[in-house]
Structure 1
Amino acid sequence: MYVIDQQNDHRIEQRARMYRETYPAFAHWANGYGVIQHSDETQVRIFDLCQQLVCEGRFKQIDEVLEILSATDRLTSAAMWLVVHMTYSTKVDFSGSALDAEDFKANPQGHTGGSLNMVPAYVAYMVANHLAGITRSWLMGQGHCVAAIDAVNVLLQNLYPEQAERYPLSDEGLSQLAQDFYSYAITDDGRPGVPLGSHVNPHTAGGLIEGGYLGFAELQYVHMPLPGERLVAFLSDGAFEEQRGSDWASRWWRAEDCGLVTPVMIANGRRIDQRSTMYQQGGLTWFYEHLEQNDFHPIAIDGRDPAAFIWGIFESEARLQACSAHIRAGKMCYPVKLPYLIAETEKGYGFYGAGTNAAHGTSLPGNPRSDAAARQLFNEHAARLFLPRTELTSAIEKITQHKADNRVPEKYHALGQRDVVLKLPTASPQCEKGQALSPMAAVDKRLCEWHLANPGVRVRIGNPDELRSNRMGQTLDLLKHRVLNPEDGVAESIQGAVITALNEEAVVSAALANKGGMNLVVSYEAFAMKMIGALRQEIIFARHQKELNRHPRWLSLPVIATSHLWENGKNEQS
């Protein structure tokens, strides 16, 4: 095994050297920028991607792609530079001058390490969209890493109006951004006083969920995009054990009613105060085996390099498209092995304290405002990330080509712009006058009528127990359990819309994720209690959107928790 790997490594090194020696533009990009460096493996992968983009007619020559990739390195470095300023400083200076004591916050805060790790991932998402000429959607489970999203969005001016007005691309605008981050400012009526938060929020351009409850993005992403849509979902290794059920994603994905999904785990090691189950079980080696056993196709990439993420997004989508074509041709059957990117990195890469527990929050050994040694460390390590304004302007121009691509900005990606309209079904009496009828039977009948009147609208029914015992028999017979191996004579189908699992968080997340369709969750009262966390996160986010007059246009989600009096004799309390 060692000899094979050694031979493969040698071949990769040989190919990368050949490409650098043959193509000056490739050699220029391969040199990287500052802390952004490219391994031989990533170089070989990127060369193949460049050739693919030329063959597809997207670009005329690979030099055009490499120019964009060189700009990507520089934008990534600049965004990391801005992230550390958001944590520590009140002043951002495009000249790159060292900051003085009075330029730092009295109480620096932020999830700096995770945010630094998210910067190359989110920049890569932006650039992959430009390279493909497609605006994909994005989702981030670790909402506390919002500094990365805001930093990149501000530099690219991919902002909603309230942030665009307050944070222009200038010393003053970026300084205001740094001052507002973790400022705890509130208005007279008790609301947040700035259009910025410690987690993803409705001010975050393109944000979908707050992310405070780790693990729900993992449960939702596979149900989010409709056919023809694409989603890149950034996930956390620390969230892997938060909510069980994320390893069932391949069980639910169908090419016929799901868009392309690219899950990306940012694998940056230790959690705040403890080691996660993943690392106790054997680290990433164990996790790769776990993914393979659960019908994923794990793909390792360099989590420190935006180019590795870009290649991974294209590779993941190409694999999923190939599988879809084989299924349509009858050459494959479900489940599809979902590609799953694992971005291996160290917490807080690129800044002082990377890889330590302190990197989770504020990694410097003291506050630069009062500690001269910490101040020197900040200025020294920030300087390694600095990008001169002229180079930043050039990089931004190369990446923000939405008009030329004839596509919408990322702040208006498809999953954030749902607007579902249903055709009203023909009214029919539920029962004859004086006839006894279960309320759930009436719900059952009416839901079927809504579905039959709107056959093109995707349906998700969340079911953590027994649908028939909750008087939803017509719905089950019409829409059927989604399974991989249907049994004859049972209400089951590969294309079923009823998501059944003995995991309440997973089934409610299937419905919450389907904002492009029609949903219902039915459960017993006791089981429904575990759904409250997911519902709370969604309700608060939607309420804040409405307060900003940015109304969510997806359909309201009914969640019915039944409780039967006659069970008291059996279960004592229900």
Structure 2
Amino acid sequence: QRGDQSEPRWWRAEDSGMVVPIMILNGRRIEERSQITQQGGADWLATHLTHNGFAPIRVDGRDPAAIAWAIVEAEQRLGRYAAHAGRTYPAPIPYIIAETVKGFGFPGAGTNAAHNLPLAGNPSHDESARAQFNDAAHLLFVPPDEIERAVAEIAIHDRQGREPASRHPLAMRNPPAPRLPEPDWALAGAPPACAMQALDRWFVELVDANPGLRPRVGNPDELKSNHMGATLERLKHRVNTPEAGVADAVHGAVITALNEEAVAGAALANKGGINLIVSYEAFAMKMLGGLRQEIIFSRHQRVAGRQPGWISVPLVVTSHTWENAKNEQSHQDPTVGEALLGEMSDTSRVLFPVDVNSAMAALRMVYRGRGQVACLIVSKRDMPYRFGAEAAERFVNTGAAHVHGELSGAELQIVAIGAYQLEEALKAARRLTARGRRVVVTALLEPGRFRAPRDLLEADFAADDETVANLFPPGLPRLIATHTRPEPMLGLLRRLDDGPRRTAARGYISRGGTLDVAGMLFANHCSWAHLVAAAAPLSGWTRDTLLTTAERKAIDGLGSPADIAVTSQ
């Protein structure tokens, strides 16, 4: 597969190191010829790559020595280019095309049969299949003593003073711990403020405090629209020809392209530095394949007892499901958080900060970690102050915190996962309190901390039973209001679930459109009034005593949503 072709546009001699892309051009996919072959094979590919800024090198892909030579040659060419004082960009990145046929050295080579099981029978007891295999495989046979001599020629690491490939610096990255500036915490009584703008300011301070750690920002589009304008002005889009009056620079650290997986890869590959990925929530899904590969490999290292040393990478998703109305449901999708919660939570973290301080504390915590990918789902609209500095730090360290009411004597617990969900939960609690009910509202920042652990590594990360019981007492009726779809969150939080008569959840139910925040909450049955109605049967109440006639008609679809706009007590 050709993959992304941005290297010539983004590579810089000053900060990118050697890179040698190699295409094993075997001409076939699983069940048909590849598009490259259909369009002209290696000749077509070489022309295509040249048009995209590469310098192709064609070799016999069946000859290991030819491939080794090509790698050395490519590095030397790139080294000469990097040493040239008059170099300009884009760089002519050498690109090796190793021509071969699929399944070379095995039966069915060059045909669809080369994939999977090309033999008609089992060679252990089918003489014809055995002969077919041996006739083809002789092309690959190398006498063992010849292999041993070749290894002896290459394995001279001590004499050359170099580490074996298994200990290559790229595999052993362990940059120094970053200096984490004290955030400019919002103070009690502060007006509503934008968490994304707070993250923006703090990230610039982080970059400035760590000049020895190379920054990379993966940006599919609209960094300024996502309220990261200070970051853009400080680091600038990486371009080959800067435009006057625009935040562009040849050596910019913001990698921008409408290719979500490619820009995420630019950050994930920067193992020796500080990274940040920012995206609309709906389109972060396009990064999932690359993120999962990074998460899986890091987790494998942990299982093998080799802790990954790179500084954890945050993916900040904003302009999210509940606040992105202008493009209808194409921009309303909470799946990325749900999908990442499906991975092992000690390596794949998903966090739902609710205000300025909890967002800054969460991002700061991510950069303390190593070998993790952390998805922060952050509102870009102004949200009320909910946590002071110390409380925000405790919230992040524990993963949850009570925001309203007391557990002692409570008749209901509303668990809010997400900023807008917390505000609706607090409105619902105020109504219930005014009706004489005792309610506690708990903000849950990191659901993965409260899941049933699936192995010992995840158990070390997850909250213990005592912590869970202290925050979420067994037997207490519980309503979960979540940013995500309700079903995945209910499944994840089984430790909080006392069954359908005592526990319920409300969240995104795939209803959307060109609606404002209140409209999205109403359409998905997540408004404060819907929460009150959902809470009633859990605690043995009747909603008629909790909601007015007009409010009940509104949530039943028989009245006007405007009738719940003000939570009259």
TM-score after normalising by structure 1: 0.55
Secondary structure class of the residue paired with 1:286: helix
CA 384–335 in structure 1, closer or farther in 2 if over 3 Å, else same: closer
After superposition, residues 133-152 of structure 1 pair within 5 angstroms as none
Q: Where does the alignment leave 5 or more consecutive residues of structure 1 unmatched?
A: 1-238
User: In 1, are the aligned partners of 2:27 and 2:36 still within 8 Å (CA)?
Assistant: no
Question: Which of 217, 221, 238 is equivalent to 1:465?
Answer: 221
1:414 alignment counterpart: 169
User: In 1, are the aligned partners of 2:301 and 2:307 still within 8 Å (CA)?
Assistant: yes
Q: Is 1:429 aligned with 2:184? A: yes
2:125 alignment counterpart: 370
User: In 2, are the aligned partners of 1:335 and 1:484 still within 8 Å (CA)?
Assistant: yes
Cα distance in 1 between the residues matched to 2:181 and 2:107 = 65
1:401 alignment counterpart: 156
Cα distance in 1 between the residues matched to 2:91 and 2:167 = 30
Secondary structure class of the residue paired with 2:96: strand
After superposition, residues 259-408 of structure 1 pair within 5 angstroms as 259-326=17-84, 329=85, 331-382=86-137, 385-408=140-163
User: In 1, are the aligned partners of 2:24 and 2:61 still within 8 Å (CA)?
Assistant: yes
Cα distance in 1 between the residues matched to 2:181 and 2:151 = 53
Cα distance in 2 between the residues matched to 1:389 and 1:443 = 59
User: In 2, are the aligned partners of 1:420 and 1:554 still within 8 Å (CA)?
Assistant: yes
Cα distance in 2 between the residues matched to 1:276 and 1:375 = 30
Question: Which of 540, 546, 561 is equivalent to 2:317?
Answer: 561
Secondary structure class of the residue paired with 2:218: strand
Cα distance in 2 between the residues matched to 1:295 and 1:549 = 42
User: In 2, are the aligned partners of 1:430 and 1:442 still within 8 Å (CA)?
Assistant: no
For 1:568, the aligned partner's letter is A
For 1:377, the aligned partner's letter is Q
User: In 1, are the aligned partners of 2:23 and 2:97 still within 8 Å (CA)?
Assistant: yes
Secondary structure class of the residue paired with 1:469: coil
CA 251–384 in structure 1, closer or farther in 2 if over 3 Å, else same: closer
Q: Is 1:478 aligned with 2:234? A: yes
CA 392–467 in structure 1, closer or farther in 2 if over 3 Å, else same: closer
- Greater helix proportion: 1
Once the 2 structures are TM-superposed, how far is the Cα of residue 420 of structure 1 from its aligned partner?
Answer: 2.1
2:551 alignment counterpart: none
**Which is bigger in relative contact order (C-alpha 8 A, separation at least 6)?**
1
1:517 alignment counterpart: 273
Once the 2 structures are TM-superposed, how far is the Cα of residue 388 of structure 1 from its aligned partner?
Answer: 4.2
Once the 2 structures are TM-superposed, how far is the Cα of residue 412 of structure 1 from its aligned partner?
Answer: 1.1
Q: Where does the alignment leave 5 or more consecutive residues of structure 2 unmatched?
A: 329-512, 515-519, 521-569
After superposition, residues 117-266 of structure 1 pair within 5 angstroms as 239-240=1-2, 246-266=4-24
CA 411–570 in structure 1, closer or farther in 2 if over 3 Å, else same: closer
CA 395–322 in structure 1, closer or farther in 2 if over 3 Å, else same: closer
Once the 2 structures are TM-superposed, how far is the Cα of residue 477 of structure 1 from its aligned partner?
Answer: 0.6
CA 377–518 in structure 1, closer or farther in 2 if over 3 Å, else same: same
Secondary structure class of the residue paired with 1:300: strand
CA 248–392 in structure 1, closer or farther in 2 if over 3 Å, else same: closer
Cα distance in 1 between the residues matched to 2:326 and 2:89 = 44
User: In 1, are the aligned partners of 2:105 and 2:137 still within 8 Å (CA)?
Assistant: no
1:118 alignment counterpart: none
For 2:12, the aligned partner's letter is R
- Greater strand proportion: 2
Once the 2 structures are TM-superposed, how far is the Cα of residue 307 of structure 1 from its aligned partner?
Answer: 1.9
1:440 alignment counterpart: 196
Cα distance in 2 between the residues matched to 1:252 and 1:295 = 11
CA 273–422 in structure 1, closer or farther in 2 if over 3 Å, else same: same
For 1:412, the aligned partner's letter is R
CA 384–257 in structure 1, closer or farther in 2 if over 3 Å, else same: closer
TM-score after normalising by structure 2: 0.55
Cα distance in 1 between the residues matched to 2:133 and 2:313 = 48
CA 436–371 in structure 1, closer or farther in 2 if over 3 Å, else same: same
Cα distance in 1 between the residues matched to 2:107 and 2:258 = 44
For 1:294, the aligned partner's letter is N
User: In 2, are the aligned partners of 1:483 and 1:496 still within 8 Å (CA)?
Assistant: yes
Secondary structure class of the residue paired with 1:560: strand
Secondary structure class of the residue paired with 2:313: coil
2:462 alignment counterpart: none
1:148 alignment counterpart: none
Q: Which has the larger radius of gyration?
A: 2
Once the 2 structures are TM-superposed, how far is the Cα of residue 440 of structure 1 from its aligned partner?
Answer: 0.7
CA RMSD, aligned part only? 2.0
CA 285–445 in structure 1, closer or farther in 2 if over 3 Å, else same: same
CA 392–567 in structure 1, closer or farther in 2 if over 3 Å, else same: closer
User: In 1, are the aligned partners of 2:107 and 2:136 still within 8 Å (CA)?
Assistant: yes
2:380 alignment counterpart: none
